[in-house]
Copies of this chain bind each other. A is one copy, B any other.
């Protein structure tokens, strides 16, 4: 069987998840190309070496440019903050490497547009690019997409999307790159809001055409250099503090091209909500609801069941459901990381078949345009802003 050599840039939270995906995909799925974890790039030689040993990469680089130049790398997997996406992805595509780029695609629309141009040029040469909106491959959400595509919902009228976390609730949680606009582009908006924008547009099968938005920052400054644990952490209360330059919460109303209306909210201050990535779609014939905090379930209401209708808690673990037949018997739930494995599977299959993968950079650019419109509207008295 042929091999596809992977080179990954970055080795923190996302790097850990992507490594698991490349390692696990060929053990559960019958792939046309076997991924080989060839090289890992990171700035610090000591840290990248340790990460490669832990995560299982065969070699390391301390400069992502070197990684891209390597002949034994076929696919570049970008797992670094958003300010570096455009440069790395463009260079990799030009070097003839397939690219998997974490979301959000970039920190600005201009960057994203350059990336789309590079991706389209590359595709003409059989080189493919994909953006890592991994939640699309959570089986319950993939099933949601299938149900909408099947026409089960009829015309969709309402979309409500929330992404609620609480790891910034404490005012002394330390500053990280995620709170620095230069690194991250935005706060809750790009970090988690991007996920629900992509998921909503993808599942509804319709793009947003305009928004009215409100952004807010609850905590203006935070401790520098605290002890960071996972996403959150605990800083000291006496040391120096630095400014938070991004939004703590983002809220907007929206219209979709097909006539639906939407309400979106992303925050990292919803105390008690740990990873409540929630979507609900109401059509004229059926409705769907999902909450990542119960990630193996999709709730489905079918008006055809009336008067004995009710939201059904479908456990998206049947052999007929997306991806799940390759794992365990029904009811034996999957976890967060499985979506990354499915993403790896689908990207490898797309490459092997010479078909464009999805989400394409163009789809991710559309998300970027929504993010920009949200920021524009919020800065202009919430005025309606077309996309």
A287 interface residue per 8 A CB criterion: yes
A45 interface residue per 8 A CB criterion: no
Question: Please, which residues of chain B bring their CB within 8 A of the CB of A269?
Answer: 157-158, 282
Query: Is the beta-carbon distance between A214 and B214 smaller than 8 angstroms?
Result: no
Question: Please, which residues of chain B bring their CB within 8 A of the CB of A231?
Answer: 329-330
Stoichiometry (number of copies): 4
A254 to B126, CA, bound (A): 49
**With contact pairs A230-B330, A270-B282 given, residues A294 and B292 touching in the complex (Cβ less than 8 Å):** no
Among A61-69, A103-111, A114-122, A309-317, the one that faces the other chain is A309-317
A249 interface residue per 8 A CB criterion: yes
Name the residue of chain B whose CB is nearest to the CB of A272: B301
Query: Is the beta-carbon distance between A271 and B251 smaller than 8 angstroms?
Result: no
Question: Please, which residues of chain B bring their CB within 8 A of the CB of A332?
Answer: 275, 335-336
Instruction: Please encode chain A, from 152 to 166, with 1 for each CB lying within 8 Å of some chain B CB and 0 for all others.
Output: 000001101010011
Instruction: Please encode chain A, from 133 to 144, with 1 for each CB lying within 8 Å of some chain B CB and 0 for all others.
Output: 000000000010
A382 interface residue per 8 A CB criterion: yes
A101 interface residue per 8 A CB criterion: no
Among A3-11, A13-21, A85-93, A235-243, the one that faces the other chain is A13-21
Query: Is the beta-carbon distance between A283 and B271 smaller than 8 angstroms?
Result: yes
With both chains docked as a complex, state the minimum distance between the C-beta of A379 and any C-beta of chain B, in angstroms. Answer: 11
Interfacial residues of chain A within 180-238, with CB under 8 A of chain B in the complex: 212-214, 216, 218, 229-232
A300 interface residue per 8 A CB criterion: yes
Instruction: Please encode chain A, from 309 to 350, with 1 for each CB lying within 8 Å of some chain B CB and 0 for all others.
Output: 111111101111100010111111111111000000000000
Query: Is the beta-carbon distance between A293 and B315 smaller than 8 angstroms?
Result: yes
Name the residue of chain B whose CB is nearest to the CB of A154: B271
Question: Of B23, B216, B253, which is within 8 A of A23 by CB?
Answer: B23
In this complex, the interface size class of chain A, counting residues with CB under 8 Å from chain B, is 35 or more
With both chains docked as a complex, state the minimum distance between the C-beta of A290 and any C-beta of chain B, in angstroms. Answer: 13
Question: Of B160, B167, B229, B267, which is within 8 A of A265 by CB?
Answer: B160
With both chains docked as a complex, state the minimum distance between the C-beta of A361 and any C-beta of chain B, in angstroms. Answer: 26
A176 interface residue per 8 A CB criterion: no
A147 to B165, CA, bound (A): 22
Query: Is the beta-carbon distance between A311 and B308 smaller than 8 angstroms?
Result: no
Question: Of B162, B307, B312, which is within 8 A of A308 by CB?
Answer: B312
With both chains docked as a complex, state the minimum distance between the C-beta of A309 and any C-beta of chain B, in angstroms. Answer: 7
**With contact pairs A251-B263, A315-B293 given, residues A212 and B382 touching in the complex (Cβ less than 8 Å):** yes
Question: Of B160, B280, B328, B330, which is within 8 A of A167 by CB?
Answer: B330
Query: Is the beta-carbon distance between A305 and B312 smaller than 8 angstroms?
Result: yes
Query: Is the beta-carbon distance between A271 and B261 smaller than 8 angstroms?
Result: no
Question: Of B270, B328, B381, which is within 8 A of A384 by CB?
Answer: B381
With both chains docked as a complex, state the minimum distance between the C-beta of A152 and any C-beta of chain B, in angstroms. Answer: 9
A270 to B282, CA, bound (A): 5
| Known interface pairs A271-B285, A335-B335; 19 further A-B residue pairs with C-beta atoms within 8 A, sorted by A's residue number | A19-B27, A158-B267, A166-B282, A212-B214, A214-B253, A229-B319, A267-B282, A271-B303, A274-B317, A274-B330, A275-B329, A275-B330, A293-B333, A300-B310, A306-B318, A377-B382, A381-B383, A382-B382, A382-B384
Q: List 7 A-B contacts (CB under 8 A).
A: A19-B27, A166-B282, A169-B284, A230-B330, A271-B284, A309-B314, A328-B337
